Chains A and B, each alone.
Chain A
Amino acid sequence: DAGITQSPRHKVTETGTPVTLRCHQTENHRYMYWYRQDPGHGLRLIHYSYGVKDTDKGEVSDGYSVSRSKTEDFLLTLESATSSQTSVYFCAISEGGNGETQYFGPGTRLLVL
């Protein structure tokens, strides 16, 4: 398995609170991605990063922000969690962004009450 860890693996929080999810890689890959997975929707891209401090939005970026201050860490923040953000969140990495294999982390299950 690619060296990707996500923390926490499970989280329960209340509406309106900020939440930060962490993705850590040991592969020194340039690209990192955050996805959410919901029944009937597959995986949808939230944000991605193509280098330290370089990020871009995906399909479903509203209500989320990201930061990447080191190559190995990519943080996803829910600024004010809502029930619609209850989901399973996956981090992925790849060496390049175009035509390169993506490797996924184990996921974080988030429940917003």
Chain B
Amino acid sequence: GENVEQHPSTLSVQEGDSAVIKCTYSDSASNYFPWYKQELGKGPQLIIDIRSNVGEKKDQRIAVTLNKTAKHFSLHITETQPEDSAVYFCAANNFNKFYFGSGTKLNVKP
């Protein structure tokens, strides 16, 4: 099956700085890559996604890039704010199943 690896496991940045989280996947058949934000005690919430026919997608301060050849995709958060502090998960969608990375705990220091 698919294997998704996510790095780093923790990330601490100063408010206003950028944060980058990287994921790799193993199965070239995976074609949809969502990113989720999870706050303490809550379920994951989709923040951005990208499909395999697109190389980059932006939504205000958040962007995702996809390199199909290298099988990796990244989440970029610019101008970080304290409310961005949470756990972020990447995922790969492969034949009706979703495979998740192990998560990155982002801490934005005021």
Contacts and interface: CB of A to CB of B under 8 A. Distances in A.
A44 B95 CA distance: 15
The interface residues of chain B, by DSSP majority, are classed as strand
Nearest to A56: B96
User: Which size bracket describes the interface of B in this complex?
Assistant: 20 to 34
Contacts of B101: 42
A31 B44 contact: no
B100 interface: yes
A42 B43 contact: no
Nearest to B96: A97
User: Which size bracket describes the interface of A in this complex?
Assistant: 20 to 34
A41 B97 contact: no
Interface stretch (A12-20, A72-80, A100-108): A100-108
A98 B32 CA distance: 8
A97 B103 CA distance: 22
Nearest to A43: B100
A42 B96 CA distance: 18
A102 B99 CA distance: 12
Interface string A6-43: 00000000000000000000000001010100001111
Given A45-B99, A105-B43, 8 more contacts: A42-B101, A59-B1, A97-B96, A98-B96, A99-B51, A100-B32, A104-B43, A107-B42
Interface of A: 31, 33, 35, 40-45, 48, 50, 56, 58-59, 90, 97-107
